[in-house]
Amino acid sequence: MSPFIRNEDVVTISPLQGEWPSLGEIIAFVHPVTKGLCIHRIVRKKDGIYVTKGDNRSETDERVPIENILGSVTRVERDGKQVFLGLGPERFLIAFLGRRGLLFPLLIPLWKIVRPFVRRSAR
């Protein structure tokens, strides 16, 4: 899920509480085949199955039935600070770009432009 979630980040997962997850949400689920824990973004819903994809993946999407979803990711902390997740209105654009494998290739050049400003404001 890089760049939004990285190794050693602390992730908060909240139960769905009767609400269906929506496009662009980041969910935690039990992988239907490997039975391992996965965290991916919802990029599509089709026939009651949620199609998910990691933000940094170009491989095929994961198809997740609702019963495998543990909850949605509501907070990520890195080094004790909250990380921007892209869960506002921008989540639809992130899901659209992710589904087409365009998200990470677009973020690399953008991050090179933005990074100097982020580092200055953090001081």
Domain extents in the chain: 10-122
pLDDT for residue 71: 95
Q: How far is CA 106 from CA 26, 57, 89, 103, in A?
A: 19, 13, 18, 5
pLDDT tens profile 45-66: 888 899 888 766 666 678 899 9
Q: Which CATH number fits domain 10-122: 1.10.357, 2.30.30, 2.40.160, 2.40.50?
A: 2.30.30
Rg over alpha carbons for the chain, rounded to the nearest Å, is 15
**Position 7 confidence tier, pLDDT thresholds 50, 70, 90:** confident
* Percentage of the chain exceeding pLDDT 70: 63
Distance separating the N- and C-terminal Cα atoms of the chain: 27
Residue 104 has pLDDT above 70, yes or no: no
